[in-house]
Structure 1
């Protein structure tokens, strides 16, 4: 009975972390879909200025990722999460008085940096609450929050702007961030549970959920977190060597996805496929939601390759379909395929990354993965802009499909060839 209790995913820590993460993603998507047009309408920004107003969030987040892992592991997940969420609340409040484009860009960068710390800390907290034998399954459930936010966030932002104006959008996102901060205060404050035996030591580089298993007198159902000893800032704190290979794979995948989220709107207008583009992310979220609960279990039991390779094929098909689409339904199908593709690859890679590091280095492992993914998402549009201008959207998506093939070969070389057949349960 005690073992079954330890193996459950839906612990109070995990549930609270899931909700906090979901609320942060809702705010992110609600603002990112409306910020460029807001900059144009409010400050008469140029196209470049509007793009910077939107992407400055990612710039701030990417710069912060350099130190988030070290800070989270050094000072503790809960402490960093609370401070970061407090800064997020301040950032959201500053959208209201921001009276110029430079001020808006500074607020966006501050929000992005605080979000990077909060997301790393909350994901580390959630991952620490997932039993090692159900790592991919739990990571998939955690990713469902992102999936739902992908559909709810943009819809909420566009609805508020269209019906009530930007002021209501900023007040609503501020309220959501305050709610997430209040919920985060409850993390780690649950009553004590009966102590359980301490698990056997795990081999280096494999997280067996030590931080979650109550093993000492006075331990609670929520793990007692012990911040890492005070050590100097090192390169390993920024780029955990065990995670860099899979993170490099996600940089390529993120580059491919950046062409979707950045240029889908303009692409649909250029080809007269705006109706299909309107349902793209709804199809994305629906497809991922249907498959995510089962794919994590499959990855745990049958290995990473069984999930990663089909996801790559789906994402490749989505990019090729976008490159050649002439009808709205093709864009909708591409959205569903993107959900099965990119929407599956990110949580699958996160499970691989978490299993590659010990429990006390979860922050460094997660921040390494997200740093590389952010670089791909953030720098991709800059590199692709010239390609779109020179050759058009069809050629851009074709080139991204080719890049994804390179990513597949890279994944095989760095992970699939030796470790791809081992699932979490098998590793344990």
Structure 2
């Protein structure tokens, strides 16, 4: 068992974590409120509502593969600050988005800043975290995003119900600016063994070593999109609206409670000891969701999904980063997030069709089956190779 001796909670680690927190806080503030905004203020059709999310995700997915190259070619801090500046400008532009077409253009521009910035923070934090505490560090870093996921929707809905959308946009501008200021004070390590011959070939846009784990990530993110996009609608049909408002709160509480243990176990005992149970918990939680009929089972599913999916995603990102050399971490991070975003975007669309034709109970039942398939896919693409390498390492230590 490996012991963690390096300092994790440094000024730089906290700086990049808070940069990410305020970035995602702005993202979630808008994610849950803009659909209401376009219905109430722009009177768009039901079929147009999803475009405010889809356009944002599309631009983020498009820019991610190129962002990994730009981070290495131009410099991580320069690209981080540039992307956060784009994100801040886009946040301010919402004040002038008085037509639906103009709003979609702002969303596309906003997605570009988000795609580059999230890739940059993920790559930067991987070079700040000590190597012997990578799993633990990435877990805590992901916790800042998880907190934003809980606080953002609650704060956003509170603001628009108590004040107005103009006040909401003020808060978005302030949080975006704080994210930029936090990044200014982060001392970002110079790119180790910087790559000078990278271009825009397919092999440079995607890090091939991190593709296997990214495929698994994309598949399971596809399944999670059903929880993210349709859980509140499902709960409303079950007359569990009040309980559903606490679903992601329970999700975050149990994730936070498990984080001090799961990250350390990842570093000490290896990823398989953490990832297999995490995927299984995610699947069980989704299965319970498909049969829920009361508030207790709804919240139990939230707890299991929180521990399972939350632990799994930070673990997958750590695996993607650990699969490459230090100077390829930007590309590995970009590849990881490209597959994750694509899974969420495609899943929201496809699972919406499934829900419309088969109902939400069947949607979550089918999703739980898909997650178990994802468990087998993880074994085939990564888990079995890791088990073999760990066995070889143990045999070498015994012989020594």
Measured in 2, the distance between the counterparts of 1:160 and 1:405 equals: 39
Aligned position for 1:372? 339
Shift of 1:275: 1.8
Aligned position for 1:224? 190
Measured in 2, the distance between the counterparts of 1:387 and 1:397 equals: 10
Q: Is the 8 A contact 1:243 1:353 kept in 2?
A: yes
Q: Is the 8 A contact 2:254 2:303 kept in 1?
A: yes
Equivalent residues in 2 for 1:13-412, closer than 5 Å: 13-188=12-187, 223-225=189-191, 227-412=194-379
Which aligned segments of 4 or more residues in structure 1 are displaced greater than 4 angstroms?
A: 420-423
Instruction: Report which of the two has the higher share of helix.
Output: 2
Which string of whole-angstrom CA distances, capped at 9 and with x for unpartnered residues, describes residues 249-296 of structure 1? 001110010000111121111221212211100001001000112111
**Structure 1 unmatched ranges of 5 or more:** 189-221
Measured in 2, the distance between the counterparts of 1:258 and 1:36 equals: 17
Shift of 1:55: 2.8
Measured in 1, the distance between the counterparts of 2:72 and 2:255 equals: 31
Aligned position for 1:413? 380
Q: Is the 8 A contact 2:355 2:363 kept in 1?
A: yes
Shift of 1:421: 7.6
Measured in 2, the distance between the counterparts of 1:347 and 1:366 equals: 12
Cα distance, 1:149–1:105 mapped onto 2, change above 3 Å = same
Q: Considering only aligned residues, what root-mean-square deviation do their CA atoms show, in Å? A: 1.8
Measured in 2, the distance between the counterparts of 1:231 and 1:260 equals: 38
Shift of 1:420: 4.7
Q: How many residues align?
A: 389
Taking structure 1 as the reference length, the TM-score comes to: 0.88
Other structure's SS at 1:149 match: helix
Measured in 2, the distance between the counterparts of 1:82 and 1:420 equals: 40
Shift of 1:10: 1.8
Which has the larger displacement, 68-77 or 160-169?
Answer: 68-77
Which has the larger displacement, 51-60 or 393-402?
Answer: 51-60
Measured in 1, the distance between the counterparts of 2:388 and 2:29 equals: 38
Aligned position for 1:200? none
Cα distance, 1:47–1:177 mapped onto 2, change above 3 Å = same
Measured in 2, the distance between the counterparts of 1:22 and 1:118 equals: 12
Q: Is the 8 A contact 2:65 2:331 kept in 1?
A: no
Measured in 2, the distance between the counterparts of 1:282 and 1:335 equals: 8
Q: Is the 8 A contact 2:279 2:308 kept in 1?
A: yes
Shift of 1:225: 3.5
Q: Is the 8 A contact 1:148 1:285 kept in 2?
A: yes
